[in-house]
Structure formats: C-alpha cells, structure tokens
Structure 1
Amino acid sequence: MRRLLPVAAAALLLAGCTAAATENELRLGYLGNLTHATAIVGVAGGFFAKALGDIQLTTQVFNAGPAEMTALLGGQLDAAYVGPSSALNGYVRSHGQALKIVAGATMGGAELVVRPSITAAGQLKGKTLATPQLGNTQDVALRYWLSQHGMRTTTDGGDVAIRPQDNATTLDQFRAGKIDGAWLPEPWASRLVVAAQAKVLVDERDLWPDGRFASTDLVVSTTFLRDHPQAVRRLIDGELAANDWVSANAGEATRTVNTELRRISGAALTDAEVTRAWDEQQVTGDPLASTVGVQADHAVTVGLMSATDLRGIVDIGPLNDALAAKGRPKVDDAGLGDKR
C-alpha cells in the first residue's frame, strides 16, 4: 500500500478528466529541462513523428510538472513527460482514474546547490531555498531530505523557507543574494554551479541504491491508452529510438538539446553548463517503478500526500512488448501494476 495526495493539490490539479483527443492526433507535453532530453530529442529529431506515422503529434512545453498535470487532467494533453511526484499527484487527485505511467525517460539529474559558505545541513535552518513548483519531484525531495535532518517544512513556513518558483527566477535570485540555494533538475543545478558559483550540497543520486532513481517518466491519459493503445505503443517505439540515438551520439545529442533549449527559453547553455549537466543524468526506458513508490512515501512523510492504493498507476505492457520486439529484457512494475 502506498500513500499519496498533495494537500495543496486542489490549487494545482483539476478534479475532472475530460477526453478531447482525436483518433489521428497525440498531444504531448514535456518540460524545457535537460532531464527531458528524451522528449526534446524525440520531437526535434523526428523520432516520435516517424514512429507515430499518420498520427499527428502536437506538443506543448511547460515549466514544471504540476502545471503539466493540470493540462493532462483537464483533457488538454494525451501524454506527458513528467517527474514522478507530479505523476503521483495527478493519479491520486483523479482517484486513480486519470493516468498511467507507461515508460521511463531519465534517471538522475537533480541536486541541492547552495552558497559556498553552507557546508552542512544544519546551516540551512532559517535560510531560504527554491524548488521549481510546490509538489513537484524536486520539491518533495528537498522537503523529505530536510525532514531527515530534523528540519520541519510547511507550505508557508517552517525551519527552512521553501520558495517554489520558475527556474530562471531562481537563478536570478540566487545571483542577487535573495535565496540561499535550490533543489533543481538539470540543467538548472549546473547553471547555478557554473554561472553563479553555487556548490553542490546534495547530489540526489547519492541518496538512492546504485544512484538510480526516476526523475522523468512518461505518463498517458487512461482514456487515451484505452481508446488508442496502438498510438501509445508507437510513441514508446519512438522513445526507445530516441534514447538509443542519445546513447550512441552523446555529443550530437547534447548539441540538439541545447539548440532546443535556446528555442524554448531564448538562451542556450554554455559549453561548461551543458557538459556538466549532461554527465549528471542518463536516459532510460525503465520507469524505475520501485523508486516511484518510495517517492510517494517521501511525500507522505512531509505532509504533501495522504493515503491511497497506488496499484494500477503503472502499465508497462506496451513498453515490455516494445522491448521484447527489440530482443531486450522486460522491466518490472514493482507491484504497482493493475489491481488483480
């Protein structure tokens, strides 16, 4: 049994789930972060379009996962690349009806970066830290880590002030001395390190067995999966092709993602920023379901979630079919597959 539901989610996620998809269209959301390299390459490199064939792909870029889940629950997206905590929020908010995690995308790629004078957790008491959005994957990670070090956080105060905000704002405020650090996905953690002289206090990989944890997964609307299973399978085929290309062409993939980040945000990363950020993460088709369950437990611990049964949030049938077709090992749902 897993437990989950953000107490502040009502302001972030819609209660209903409408289906406005058409038979020949797939509406995909993702974030303008390096941890969404699978999606960025899949779109820019034409891997999704090729796999989808006559199904039209339309895309929308978001700043953080909770807003993206609002769109999915509101029927404005059919699929989305999103952090696990945001996926869990959407699942629980819709009483287990709205979405399924069908594949992974990225593991790793998140750090707590702070001012150089801060060298230990205890020095954060009374400080102000930022995260991308209340209830997103990095927000939960920061609050849980602080709780493990004896510090209380709430949505409006606590021992450490947490300021959920746009990542670009976080960089500007760190430079201006208005915040003391942030738990961020890539490339933003690396931007603070390289461009603003922040130091790494926590590399999130160090908190997980073998350094493996899901930072981005692919979710689809339950309605879309039911009505258009072949489209979902094609999307997963496109993802696997994109990930294969990224793994085999790291240099070109880095340049492709950086070009797209410039298009999305108006500013490209420096060579130092993109090189550092790229080394902090790894693409994967495995949703790492066991770590998704643990992340749910972390959210419960910090008071952003309440009880629910998460069995059914994962559906890796299409992914395992696609892997089998390539002669690759299947992945495990860690007991979070459909209820029996």
Structure 2
Amino acid sequence: MKKGLLFFAMLLTAALVLAGCGSSSSSSASGTSEITIGYFPNINHVPAMVAKSEGYYQEQLGDDVTINYKTFPDGSSFMDALKTGEIQAGLVGPGPAMNNYTNGADVNIIAGGSTGGTVILAREGSGIETVEDIAGKSYITPRVGCTHDVQFETYMEERGITSQRIGGDMIHQTGPPATYQAMFETGKVDVAVAPEPWASVLQQNTGAKVIIPADEVSFGTTLPASVLVSSGKLIEENPEFVQKIVNAHKDATKFIQENPEEAKTITIKDIKETTDQELSQEVVDGSWENIGFTYEVDAEAIQAFGDSSYNLEFLTEKPDFSDLIDTQFID
C-alpha cells in the first residue's frame, strides 16, 4: 500500500474508534466525533451529573468531540445500550455489570463511582417494625438481581428469610425508584429497597421507617454503589481515549469531594430535569450522609458480591471477576 493510502486508512480507523464503534457515535465530514455517557438519576451517580455540568468530558476529549448524555431507569436498559453501542461509557451499579459479564457481555469496570446509599424502608401502616416482620411481605427493587436487590436479599437470606423466587415467601416487585413514593402511598408494596435520594424522599414525604440503614445492609460499606464502565473493545482499540474518559470522571469526583454544596445544587437541578421531581435540600443533605464518592475500586468486595449473587441463584455459575476490573486507568 502506498504511504499516502496507508496514512489515510490510519486516519479513518482512528476516526471510527473515536466514534466508539457504536450506533450512536459517528464522524461527520468535518471530523467531529460523538460519545454518549450513560447514568441514572440517583445520587450514587452524581459524578456523571457534575462532569456534565462542569464540562469535564469536553475538557478532556476536546472541542472536536460532541458529548451526549443519556439517563436510564435501571441497569438492564443501561447494559443493553452499552452492548449495542448506544452509549460508550457511563455509571451503572456493579450488579448489572457483573451479571452481563458472566453472560459474555463485553464490559469492563474502569473506575469506581460511589459507595453506600442503599436503604431498606417500610411503608407507614405496613406493620413492619423489625427485619423479622418483612417475612411474607412485598418489597420493591429497581430490577431483579440489580445491585440493591442482591444487597437486600443477601442480608435477608443470612437471617433465614428469602423471596418466592428461591422458595421463600417474600413477594418481589420491580419498578423505577422515582415511583416508590406512589407505591407506598397507594399501599401497593410494603418495603422499598431504595437507592438515594429516593430513600430520603420516602422518609420525608411518606413517613417511611428505616428498617436496614445504608451502613448495615450487606456490602453497604465496601461495595461500589456505582462503577464507571466501558467496553473491552474500546479499551483495546483506543486506550488513550478511555484514559481521557476516566480523567474526566476523576475530575468530577474531586470536585464533589472539595465542593459538596455546589455538587448538591448540580444534583438537584439534574434530577429535576430528568425526572421532573425537585428534591428538597433536606432530602439531598440526608442522602449525602449515606454515600461516599471515590474512583477507587474494591475488587475483593466485588468478587464477594458476585459469590453472593451466585448463592442467591441470580447467576447460574460461580463467577470469576479477575478480568472484569481494569484498573490501569486509575493507577
């Protein structure tokens, strides 16, 4: 191949890689590429909201890259978007990342996002005062086998109480956390396994009682509540691009740690725009007490969580997550 043609082919390959090789990324005639970052409208995902507000991805990736953001109600829809190329990176609970990895999905955890934030609450009038009272009651989580679901079911299984899915008597329902208040108010569910800020919303707006606090639920102080993920394909083809994604995420995390009040304001605005629900300062302040923000990843906690997912029959084979976590971008 002539040198000129070889150089052109190299440029074309680079442009395709920058586009993320997905359906939502493209290169225009002017050379502008796109990337879409996914996240949830939960306080565990504040680093994405801050990065969006402060323009950290734009700073790292440059003005010739168009940055898009897409929110998701649960990990299943997020992972579908990552697998189809609709998004190239983003924040998701470790549960969906692990479950999809064990099923052969091309996903890697490239940084931590947050820790904590899962609270178990009982509806006022449900008759639930203690953990033992939850037996035979209905509970709601975002999805079957999601991070919050595994945390709750692990805690309950250790006390001899399980769901109908594995022969017990707890009745499982699923739904977006933003709908939990309505579910409590109509009496359609007794217990909510709620990520923040929705746990604090339930406390403030419905008088819900905390039965298992965030620091007592299984893996509550060690497991990442959210992780930054991307595809192994993108990591292999353009590690420098992925490094810039992680750098932007690290900048956002540092901003949260150094400017908590400004980060709270950004959070309130972003969740209002996404869910049309405006959180009070009291709710956000309460949520912040249950959550920590870090880009570090506890690999041992993730493996222990995966082992529990297998024991609870969310996974058909005992997992090995030694290749799921790629720490080269945060080391």
In the superposition, the TM-score normalised over structure 1's length comes to 0.84
Is 1:36 equivalent to 2:45 in the alignment?
yes
**Aligned to 1:110, which of 109, 113, 118?**
118
C-alpha distance in structure 2 between counterparts of 1:181 and 1:153, whole Å: 13
Cross-structure match for 1:134: 144
C-alpha distance in structure 1 between counterparts of 2:120 and 2:218, whole Å: 15
CA contact (8 A) 1:29 1:62 kept: yes
CA distance 1:215–1:313, change in 2 (3 Å): same
- Determine helix, strand or coil for the equivalent of 2:330: helix
Cross-structure match for 1:143: 153
CA distance 1:262–1:19, change in 2 (3 Å): closer
CA distance 1:157–1:180, change in 2 (3 Å): farther
Mapping of residues 177-196 of structure 1, within 5 Å: 177-196=187-206
Mapping of residues 1-340 of structure 1, within 5 Å: 19-20=22-23, 21-22=25-26, 24-53=33-62, 54-94=64-104, 98-115=106-123, 117-155=127-165, 158-207=168-217, 211-307=221-317, 308-320=319-331
Q: Deviation above 3 Å: which 4+ runs of structure 1?
A: 18-24, 154-158, 207-210
C-alpha distance in structure 2 between counterparts of 1:297 and 1:314, whole Å: 16
1:107-137 deviation line (CA, Å, top 9, x unaligned)? 1111111135422221111211100111210
C-alpha distance in structure 2 between counterparts of 1:301 and 1:156, whole Å: 10
CA contact (8 A) 2:74 2:143 kept: yes
CA distance 1:263–1:210, change in 2 (3 Å): closer
C-alpha distance in structure 1 between counterparts of 2:220 and 2:118, whole Å: 15
**Letter matched to residue 92 of structure 2:** V
Q: State the Cα distance separating 1:157 from its structure 2 match.
A: 7.4
Larger RCO, structure (CA 8 Å, separation 6 or more) = 1
- Determine helix, strand or coil for the equivalent of 2:264: helix
C-alpha distance in structure 2 between counterparts of 1:310 and 1:246, whole Å: 29
- Determine helix, strand or coil for the equivalent of 1:211: coil
CA distance 1:210–1:28, change in 2 (3 Å): closer
Q: State the Cα distance separating 1:207 from its structure 2 match.
A: 4.4
* % identical equivalent positions: 26
CA contact (8 A) 2:138 2:173 kept: yes
Q: Point out the more displaced range, 54-63 or 30-39.
A: 54-63
C-alpha distance in structure 1 between counterparts of 2:178 and 2:218, whole Å: 28
- Determine helix, strand or coil for the equivalent of 1:102: strand
Unaligned stretches of 5+ residues in structure 2: 1-20, 28-32
**Letter matched to residue 248 of structure 2:** G
- Determine helix, strand or coil for the equivalent of 1:107: strand
CA distance 1:71–1:157, change in 2 (3 Å): farther
- Determine helix, strand or coil for the equivalent of 2:187: coil
- Determine helix, strand or coil for the equivalent of 1:80: strand
Q: State the Cα distance separating 1:172 from its structure 2 match.
A: 0.3
C-alpha distance in structure 2 between counterparts of 1:154 and 1:300, whole Å: 17
CA contact (8 A) 1:205 1:213 kept: no
Q: State the Cα distance separating 1:138 from its structure 2 match.
A: 0.6
**Letter matched to residue 292 of structure 2:** Q
- Determine helix, strand or coil for the equivalent of 2:226: strand
- Determine helix, strand or coil for the equivalent of 2:325: coil
Q: State the Cα distance separating 1:196 from its structure 2 match.
A: 0.9
Cross-structure match for 2:12: none
C-alpha distance in structure 2 between counterparts of 1:242 and 1:169, whole Å: 28
Larger radius of gyration: 2
Q: State the Cα distance separating 1:153 from its structure 2 match.
A: 1.5
- Determine helix, strand or coil for the equivalent of 1:206: coil
